Each structure stands twice: as structure tokens, then as C-alpha cells.
Structure 1
Amino acid sequence: MVFTVRVSVAVPAAAPGGAGDLVTAEAVALDLRPARLGSRAVALLIDILVQAAIGGCLMLLAGVTVAILPERVVDDALVGTVWRVLIVLVLLAYPTIVETRTNGRSPGKAAMGLRVIREDGGPIRVRHAFTRALVGFTVEWPGLLLPFVTWAGSLTTMIASGRGRRLGDLAAGTLVVHERRPAPSRFVPGMPADLQAWAATADLSAIDDELAGAVRQYLSRAPELREPHFGTLQRMLAAEVEARVSPPPPAGTPPWLVLSAVLAERRRRYAAQLAAGRLVTERVLPGFGRRPLHPPIPAVRRASPLR
């Protein structure tokens, strides 16, 4: 079936054992791009600014509340307890709640297109977010235990990790990945000159979109494939295409030339049909579907004279 062919094309292109390969509980390999030090540092800076703003507002509110309390109630112990509670809320409770509620996307990570996920590719839970925040609070940032030493250790761990994981990620079993992955531009061969006359007269109506998509995927990723996958997939696709094309291609034509010719001719016919449809639409409904360069200015009614 065509579906089987499409799955087979995608498997060899993945790099086994790569830094971005994750295997889910269903044994499905995910090709993800781990976030590195640069993007995570910018995201951390944004999160620090947000936390500083929230902490400033809470401290202002706490200061006003303490100021209006009776003097016999306020003492050094109360003030110290309030400040400690605020620090825990801002540096521990806030990141835990935000990463849990937003599915691993704090304001800084959302701005940089990052997300925290589990090692198996699933969404994080409260325990993962709390572990990350707790390790960051005590070791990494701000790091209550030997700040400068732990900062250097965390930075070294992130640089040395193949997936850019910090100490909090190692403790929680998580990692940070890019949500927005740039789509690589792939080259698809054009029409072979020797097969142009045959393709122009061939009946391609039996080749559906699914089979054409499988051929396009194979041709665009052929340089990444290795034997025996390269030859096996080429023969399977060529056999199915030739069985649906009439008349058959010239004898002795290499399979990859047949695939390229069929795909290019199908694309040419689709473009011709689209252009013809646009001409008919323009003839029947001139200007339909086009936005004017200068939208008309609504007429202004003259105000009636005052009486």
C-alpha cells in the first residue's frame, strides 16, 4: 500500500542516536531540536524580568500591609517571615505554577519558541515543574547554596550535555526543545528532457494525491537515504506508478527518471488548470478575489446647515 511506502521513506532519514531523537512510550521516534545555551539564556533573562516585576508588586503590597498593621503586631520576626514567603512565592511557586499551567511554556520560553517536555516527549506535570524550580532555586538561579560555584557547575553541565540539559532537567527528567523548527528547503527534480513528450500524452488520472505525495517525499529526501532503503523504495514507487500510468514509459528508462517525469507533469497540469480557472473567474467576475491596492475612501456627507 502507499501508506506503507510513506512510512518507510521517513524512517531512514532520521539520524539514529542523534541528540534530538526521543522515543515515546509507543516506540515512536520524535525528531526534536534541543534548545541550547543562547536561546535558553535569553528566555531566562525574560523570565527574570517578569519575576522581578511580580516580586516588586508583591513587596509593595506587603510593605503597605505591614505599615497599616498595629505596632504591637509588627516585629522583626514578622517582617522576616513575610520577605521569606515572598521570595519562595516568586522563585519557587511562580515557576512551578506557570510551567504546569502553560504546559512548559513560561513567558521567556514562549517568547523564544521553547517548551519544556519530559524525556519521553510527553508534557510535564507538577512534579517535574516543581523539581526544576526547586533545583534552580537552591542550586542554579539564584542558587542559595554556594551561588558562584553552583552557577559554574550548572553552566558546565548544560554545555557538556548533548541535549543542552541543566541540573534541573537532569533531576526532573525533562529537556527544553524548540517548538518552531525551520522547515528545510528540499530540491525536487524537474522534467527530464527525454521523457517530456511521453509525459505530455500519458494518462495520469489514476495517480492520486497520496501516491504523488509519497513520490515527492522520496525525490526530495533521496540524497539522505542509504542502501538498501534507497533502491527498495525507488523500485516500489516506480512499480506502482508505472502500473497506474498509460501508456507505460519507454523501455529501459531508469525508475527515478520516471518518477521525476510523472511528478513534474502532474505539477504542470495542475498549474495549467489553476490558471485556466482564474481566467474564467476573471472573465465572469472581474476583480473577484483580488484586494484593491488603494481601497476606496467612503464618501463624506456634507453636514446640513444649522437653522
Structure 2
Amino acid sequence: MEEQHVIGEGVVLDTRPASFLTRGLAFTIDVLVLVVLFIIVANLPIDSIFLSQFSDAFAILAVVFALVILPATVETLTRGRSLGKYAMGIQIIRDDGGPVGSRQAFIRALVGVGELWLTSGVVAIGSAVLNNKGKRLGDFLAGTYAVRVRVPKTPPVNLAPPSHLVNWITNAEIGKLPDGLALSARQFLARSATMHPGSRQSTGEEYMRQLSQYVAPAPPVQVHPEDYIVSVIAERARREASLESQRLDRASHVRERLERLPVGISNPEN
């Protein structure tokens, strides 16, 4: 199953760790942007006497700005996306799924001076290859990693239980399903048609096994795993929609009663 990540607000990110190649291309684009900026700055009409007097200090400040301050500021303001990352459809997030802040961005940029620039990227490549999230050292120290944000859209799922299971699922008891399980099961239904038959069958059986822990009684007849999954997910959605509709109706009724004036008091608008 694909990795899911739940952020602090309870929102599940439909993202996957960015590949090493994608991160490399994003970094290359950012380097090209820096080169262009350097060429522009180098051709500005700056007083040569001023530069000769403060050449060393100016060079140090320029390096610090280009390699640390600028990338850290950009990542902070864009919540983890530089021009290269935006072009390649990736974003830096915290390990807990939240957006990066100035502290994480500064650590990544500072460590990047050593692992990206001073070692020509050798240290970053070695670190990224040795872990499944493609983290470089700066990511480990900052508690971040890169994710893909351009995930192909899955086709809509027709959440309607098969006719021979309608009576069973309508009268079945369905416990509170974990949000992550319900979401991943729904995503499985959306992509099942493109999966390898063997993988599709085994994954469907696993979701059916997990869902069956929250559903009673079992179906009266043997059912296909995907028929079972779609029945449970569809009925859960129907019941939640019904409860929400009832809640809104009650809130509307209470509001109407509160807005009524006591008997004997005329409405000043009349």
C-alpha cells in the first residue's frame, strides 16, 4: 500500500517521497537560477573602488547570502518550495507532515553548504541512497523530507454496493472505522483496475480482513473482496451523510425556536 501521512490538523496528505533523480533535477534548476543571479549582480554598475576596499567581506557576504540566507528564506516563505522544487513538483515537509518553518529551512541550508557544495553533492547522494525517503543529512537534522505533490488524479469511484449485498450492509452494524483505513480502502478501489491481478486480489483480501473487524454480521454468502469493500465504504458514507443532515435539521429547528419572539411581544419590524 502507498504511504499515507496525517498532519496535525488530521488531514491526510496524498503524497509520496520524492525520488533521488527528481530532487537532483530540482537542485540543478536552483543552481542555474543562482548562476543567473550572479551574472546579473556581477554586471551591475557598482563602484570598483568600493569593491576593491571591501572585496573579501563582500565575497563572504555574497556566499553566505547565496548558499544559506536566500534558500532558507525562499523555503520559509514558500513552505518548502524553491523554483526548482516547484518545477519538479516536490515540496519539503516536516516528518510529522506539517510545513517547514524558518528553523528547519535554516538547518537544511546551513548543512547543505557542506554536503552539497563543499563535497560536490557526494555526501548528500550517499545519504539519500541509503534511506527510503531520500533524506540528505540536512533533512535528518531538520526533521524533514521531500515529497511529491503532483500525484496523478485517480478516477472517481462509484460507491454503490452490489444489489445482492444491499440488504445485508443496510442492516449490518458498522463500528467507527479509522479514517486512515477508510481513506486507503477508498483509494484502493480507485486504482484497483490498474493493478496487477495478483496484487489486486491480495490487497483486496487484506482490506476486507481489516474492515471485517468493524462490521457485523458477516455477509450471508461468500463475496468478492472488492464488493465487500465498496459496500462497507458506501454504507459508511451514506450513514455519515444522514447523520450530518439530521444534525443540520436539528440546528435549524433550534435556531427557529430561538428567533421566535415571546408571546405578547410584537415584532418591531411590523
What range is the shorter-chain TM-score in?
A: 0.5 to 0.7
Q: Which amino acid aligns with 2:210?
A: H
- Report the counterpart of residue 87 of structure 2 in structure 1: 111
1:167 is the counterpart of 2:137:
yes
Q: Please give the alpha-carbon distance, in whole angstroms, between the structure 2 residues aligned to 1:189 and 1:254.
A: 20
Describe the superposition over 1:55-103 as per-residue Cα deviations: whole angstroms up to 9, x where unpaired. 2222222xx2123xxx5x553x512222222222222111011111111
Q: Which runs of 5+ in 1 are unaligned?
A: 1-13, 203-213, 239-251, 267-307
Give the match's secondary structure for 1:142: helix
1:40 is the counterpart of 2:23:
yes
Give the match's secondary structure for 1:44: helix
Alignment of 1:154-193 (within 5 A): 154-183=124-153
- Report the counterpart of residue 130 of structure 1 in structure 2: 106
1:50 is the counterpart of 2:33:
yes
The Cα shift of 1:108 comes to 0.6
State the TM-score, normalized to the length of structure 2.
0.60
Bigger radius of gyration among the two = 1
The Cα shift of 1:118 comes to 0.8
Q: Which amino acid aligns with 2:144?
A: T
Q: Please give the alpha-carbon distance, in whole angstroms, between the structure 2 residues aligned to 1:55 and 1:229.
A: 57
Q: Which amino acid aligns with 1:108?
A: G
Q: Please give the alpha-carbon distance, in whole angstroms, between the structure 1 residues aligned to 2:57 and 2:77.
A: 28
Q: Please give the alpha-carbon distance, in whole angstroms, between the structure 1 residues aligned to 2:63 and 2:10.
A: 42
Q: Please give the alpha-carbon distance, in whole angstroms, between the structure 1 residues aligned to 2:215 and 2:188.
A: 9
Q: Which runs of 5+ in 2 are unaligned?
A: 168-181, 193-202, 235-270
When residues 219 and 48 of structure 1 are mapped into structure 2, their CA distance, relative to the original with a 3 A threshold, is closer
Count of paired positions? 204
Q: Please give the alpha-carbon distance, in whole angstroms, between the structure 2 residues aligned to 1:256 and 1:28.
A: 31
Q: Please give the alpha-carbon distance, in whole angstroms, between the structure 2 residues aligned to 1:177 and 1:226.
A: 25
1:141 is the counterpart of 2:116:
yes
The Cα shift of 1:227 comes to 6.1
Q: Which amino acid aligns with 2:138?
A: G
Give the match's secondary structure for 1:141: helix
- Report the counterpart of residue 93 of structure 1 in structure 2: 69
Q: Please give the alpha-carbon distance, in whole angstroms, between the structure 1 residues aligned to 2:8 and 2:160.
A: 41
When residues 97 and 219 of structure 1 are mapped into structure 2, their CA distance, relative to the original with a 3 A threshold, is closer
Q: Please give the alpha-carbon distance, in whole angstroms, between the structure 1 residues aligned to 2:213 and 2:51.
A: 80
Q: Please give the alpha-carbon distance, in whole angstroms, between the structure 1 residues aligned to 2:149 and 2:68.
A: 25
Q: Please give the alpha-carbon distance, in whole angstroms, between the structure 2 residues aligned to 1:27 and 1:190.
A: 27
When residues 39 and 236 of structure 1 are mapped into structure 2, their CA distance, relative to the original with a 3 A threshold, is farther
State the TM-score, normalized to the length of structure 1.
0.54
Q: Aligned residues: percent identity?
A: 30
Q: Please give the alpha-carbon distance, in whole angstroms, between the structure 2 residues aligned to 1:163 and 1:130.
A: 20
C-alpha contact 1:165 1:176 (8 A) present in aligned 2: yes
Q: Please give the alpha-carbon distance, in whole angstroms, between the structure 1 residues aligned to 2:83 and 2:134.
A: 20
The Cα shift of 1:25 comes to 4.9
When residues 57 and 186 of structure 1 are mapped into structure 2, their CA distance, relative to the original with a 3 A threshold, is same
C-alpha contact 1:54 1:90 (8 A) present in aligned 2: no
Q: Please give the alpha-carbon distance, in whole angstroms, between the structure 2 residues aligned to 1:236 and 1:111.
A: 51
Aligned partner (choices 201, 206, 209) of residue 225 of structure 1: 206
